[in-house]
Chains A and B, each alone.
Chain A
């Protein structure tokens, strides 16, 4: 500790204010040793080691004149010796106003119960200020029930530290004990004896003659209830104190200047002045200055604020001149205190702020008054004498200007503190001064400067503090930081205090206190224990620090013996800080969480703390993270459907309109997130969650189930194990609704690491949900289908919209039929009452003839209602009848030549061949390829829908739909490669020629209704001719007519064609049979019939009948007649067409067929007409008949043919030529019979 460095000396040349501020800046000592203090994790900060360097050289520079080197060293050395003489117990609650108070100690003597003592103590404390009689002065009293006597030793230094009054409270029940009790009182008095002005003894319980003795220092009360006069007694006591104080004040103040003024000393100085020259001017000044300061203290205590200010000012001047730094500091502080009292009548200390002002001498607004010029020290020069203290301070009274301005108060405090800091033994004084200054600054709202003072206070090193004192110290620092709005620092110190409570050196760690203090730090770290505050977006906070605090809370609560609490905190840590935990930390935290929960599982109950705080439950919404929640519809076969009512289900009775867009887009429903499918009571319902495990290890989630409301729901919890840092992982949670109504899925519950969590969807951030409300409808039966056919691997095209639960497949030859037997089993719990079966053939390119599927439901329905577990059967006929026509590329030419023709010889000259195909097609490739082509398998698909219902669901109008997919592979059986007609000999008949091709690999027989079976080998093609009667299509009932609304003529035509095809088919009855496979089927020509063929198969609307001799002549068979006899020839016309036809002219042309292609028409001499050869027919009305007659005379025998020709005229041209198909007449003229 050398002399002040040069830098310090230059500072003193500057103005006082600037010097002070520079001095303050020097507080910021960037020594590493200092910086470490705040960073301790546990336990106290032992700064004793740095104690030696506490005294910063720069602080010494504040003095106006440097102390001589030797003197300073001497001071220093002594100070180091006198460890025991320094004041050791700081009063952290001190504030500037305390300087004006009188210290009274209240203590129990003997055995007094704490309760009783504090009852009285409280009442005593209520008398904290007293207006002194006949003056406007107010006395303030500070009561303590404990005060270390060594602090009392400093009473001369600052009189408010002096115990001036003692009140003892004692129990005494018998007069016998009285002397002993009184003796104790005296002993007690001895402790503070040197400083006491007066004392009182309050005796409770004593009665009798002793009580009667009037004593001023003893008051007797029968008991603790009956002591109304306590306050009065105290007031009297204080007045007596005042008298002593006032006399002392006057005594000291009026010391004659010639008298030797005693030197007032602080304890550690006592020995310093031994041997000093007491006559030196320097010494005298020192004595004077100290005494002035003392008088100032007394004045302040006596309520003479202005007087005290003057005395302090004078003292400052005196002491400054002799470099008596400790006392100079005290004088400055006194000045500050007095000014503070003046400026802030409301008080600066938080708790003592209730300082009441009676008859205030100070205007309240004085607190706000800031006068820049007030810092001038306006002391009358005449009042300062070098020889003594001028007793007359009246000149200064009323000069409020002596008072320091608020800014100056701080400057002076800084100065005072810088002086105190020179003395190691004055650490408590310095600390308390700092605290007092901070309180003042807090009121001035100058947080930055306050923090500087506090920072300094932190570094003040007292002796080895006890743990309790450390806690107190850190707590008070925390409070002061809180006071100036430094919440983080406050939290820091509170946390340090908490750690101090459980320092390893403490025998019985106060975990409860530690926990309580830690809880108080939460706001400072902006940490709330409600996980909801963290669910909004990403967590933004000081994670590292917060995590540390949470760990400490966990540990403290565990040591407190409250495992539920530690589980809650640990859960919170894991839930909210997950993003900030390293992989190792995640493992550690979960490990310890599992350890805790094995003893005390985590619950969803809020935990109430004794302090009134409630810890909300912490659901693990991040373990696992749920990204997506989707309520699943029932599988298609179990989905309920609403039966369409007459108006349709969409129409509610609420609206008079059949359709309204407002109903269709009901917004209310959207808001409720209602999903447009239904669940069914009693059926397992599913909710799919997409979950994600953020942990670096496998996460075991147990007991995961749904949280629902609205409907009684039996949740079936699942346990899952998610791999480490899995991607999105689908999890299906299931449950069974037990009642009906509207069910809302609110969330899910889990058990992870032994912690039960109820995670509500509303609280989950970033979750995607497509609605969570679903209607549950009453129970329905369940139908299971099994069929006689094998199941199919094919699945039908989903485009059909229906989902098919079962697919069956069957292979059939074209034209074949098969029975499908379906077993219907009710596997539900409700009776199956209703069943409807519909089928739907999926659109196919193939033209399908006839009924593909047919059934009779009646037999099955007879078994209904089907009770649960019962089976019913149902039969369906499958009949495949595809086009039998040959594809174009098949069997191009079956040439007319060289084929075997069954049936009749083709001898008719009117043979017409219909060629449906274009001639000149390229010739087919070789046979090998053909085989593949014929076996082209076609596929037919159909869906059978079983709509069924029953039980309560049925009454509500719901049904279920079960779909059976039917997959039929149709192999070709036979093909008709070509169709043609040949007119038969009769005009009412004709021949249908079919080229039949066997495309199977088996021998096959084809038969018709009328003809023999035709055997076809595999791949063989043969022509078959079938004689058929012509069809009178017009006579069909006009069944399509009733569908008159389909005015489309094309469609009508189509239907008519189909009807014709069916007619033809049923008449032909073509069947095939594969003997080797024992399979058979039909073959249909429907697809082959084109317009031309049809026309030929059709009866002409004009029916011509030719009668020879009254015999209808239509056959090949010749009509016989005799030569020479006239033969009657009659031509009849029956008009079946809807129009009138005619008139017609007919000419009969006879000819002879020479059977060699030559027709001889030159028969004039062999046949003669009786009458004209030309006949006339009148117009014939629809369904009318007309006839014309003629006669022929054959002159020679022979076979004659008559060809009846129409005259070409306009009327006949309008009609199709096929209408004029007259039978040819074959007449055999025979020799006349003799």
Chain B
């Protein structure tokens, strides 16, 4: 179901990006890149409203029912961050994370 999963750093560059149709990766790069505008907008809008925002889920760019997906991804991302050998800001190369993403992509397909 998920065709592309990307983790973007705070400075707006990809920490991780993976897509299932491997033949046209650039297309997904473009897609994710352009959708960051919306994320930016949502974050700036939220920043005004609530400073201490505990809810990390910003919502959907496109309608999909799978909210669990984000939680799963975020938990796995937290694990990556907890790895003492990971420098925040580096590309994510964790195999566990990769497997999790793969499972998410296959899951619904």
Chain A residues engaging chain B, CB cutoff 8 angstroms: 25, 28, 30, 38-39, 41, 447-448, 451, 481, 485-489, 492, 525-526, 540-545, 548
Contact = CB atoms under 8 A, between A and B. Distances in A.
B11 interface: yes
Given A448-B38, A543-B14, A545-B33, 8 more contacts: A28-B62, A39-B30, A448-B42, A451-B38, A525-B33, A542-B33, A544-B29, A545-B30
Contact of A38 (B17, B30, B37, B63): B30
Contacts of A25: 63
B89 interface: yes
A25 B30 CA distance: 23
B74 interface: no
Interface of B: 9, 11-14, 17, 24-27, 29-31, 33-34, 36-38, 40-42, 45, 62-63, 89
Given A492-B30, A542-B14, A545-B29, A28 B63 contact: yes
12 contacts: A30-B62, A30-B63, A39-B30, A448-B38, A448-B45, A481-B37, A486-B34, A486-B41, A487-B37, A542-B33, A543-B14, A548-B26
A492 B29 CA distance: 11
A489 B31 CA distance: 9
Given A447-B41, A448-B41, A489-B37, A542 B29 contact: yes
Nearest to B8: A542
Contacts of B30: 38-39, 492, 545
Interface centre among B13, B63, B89 (most CB of A within 10 A): B13
Contacts of A548: 26, 29
A485 B43 CA distance: 13
A1205 B36 CA distance: 125
Contact of B37 (A30, A451, A541): A451
Contacts of B17: 544
Nearest to A525: B33
A492 B34 contact: yes
B22 to A, nearest CB: 13
Contacts of B36: 488
Nearest to A495: B30
A526 B13 CA distance: 10
Contacts of A28: 62-63
Contacts of A543: 13-14
Contact of A486 (B9, B27, B31, B37): B37
A39 B34 CA distance: 11
A585 to B, nearest CB: 13
A525 B29 CA distance: 12
Contact of B12 (A38, A39, A41, A542): A542
A543 B15 CA distance: 11
Contacts of B13: 540-543
B37 A39 contact: no
B52 to A, nearest CB: 22
A571 to B, nearest CB: 22
A872 to B, nearest CB: 66
Contacts of A448: 38, 41-42, 45
Q: Classify the interface of chain B: helix, strand, loop or mixed.
A: helix
A488 B33 contact: yes
Nearest to B9: A540
Q: Name the 4 nearest CB pairs between A and B, nearest first.
A: A486-B37, A544-B29, A39-B27, A540-B13
A489 B11 CA distance: 17
Contacts of B31: 38-39
Q: Classify the interface of chain A: helix, strand, loop or mixed.
A: helix
Contact of B34 (A38, A526, A541): A38
Contacts of B12: 526, 542
Contacts of A30: 62-63
A1081 to B, nearest CB: 73
A451 B41 CA distance: 10
B11 A540 contact: yes
Contacts of A451: 37-38, 41
Contacts of B27: 39
Contacts of A545: 26, 29-30, 33
B5 to A, nearest CB: 15
Contacts of B29: 542, 544-545, 548
Contacts of A526: 12
Contacts of B34: 38, 486, 488-489, 492
A492 B36 CA distance: 12
Nearest to A548: B26
A38 B34 CA distance: 10
Nearest to B11: A540
A485 B44 CA distance: 11
A41 B24 CA distance: 11
B65 to A, nearest CB: 12
Interface centre among B26, B34, B38 (most CB of A within 10 A): B34
A626 to B, nearest CB: 24
A448 B12 CA distance: 19
Contacts of A542: 12-14, 29, 33
B41 A485 contact: yes
B38 to A, nearest CB: 7
Contacts of B26: 41, 544-545, 548
Contacts of A525: 33
A481 B33 CA distance: 14
A765 to B, nearest CB: 16
B3 to A, nearest CB: 10
A359 B21 CA distance: 62
Nearest to A491: B34
Contacts of A485: 37, 40-41
Contacts of B62: 28, 30
B9 to A, nearest CB: 7
Contacts of A481: 37
A582 to B, nearest CB: 12
A545 B34 CA distance: 10
Contacts of A486: 34, 37-38, 41
A329 B33 CA distance: 35
A437 B14 CA distance: 33
Contact of A540 (B24, B45, B63, B89): B89
A545 B12 CA distance: 13
Interface centre among A487, A489, A492, A540 (most CB of B within 10 A): A540
A447 B41 CA distance: 7
B20 to A, nearest CB: 14
B95 to A, nearest CB: 21
Given A30-B62, A448-B45, A542-B14, A488 B89 contact: no
A453 to B, nearest CB: 14
Contacts of B14: 542-544
Nearest to A451: B38
A471 B38 CA distance: 24
A41 B13 CA distance: 22
B88 to A, nearest CB: 12
Nearest to B89: A540
A735 B77 CA distance: 54
A488 B37 contact: yes
Contacts of A541: 13
Nearest to B63: A28
Contacts of B89: 540
Contacts of A540: 9, 11, 13, 89
A508 B13 CA distance: 37
B75 to A, nearest CB: 25
Contacts of A544: 14, 17, 25-26, 29
A30 B3 CA distance: 13
Contacts of B11: 540
Nearest to B45: A448
Contacts of B24: 39
Nearest to A30: B62
A1153 B41 CA distance: 135
B92 to A, nearest CB: 14
A487 B40 CA distance: 10
A25 B25 CA distance: 28
A45 to B, nearest CB: 13
A541 B91 CA distance: 11
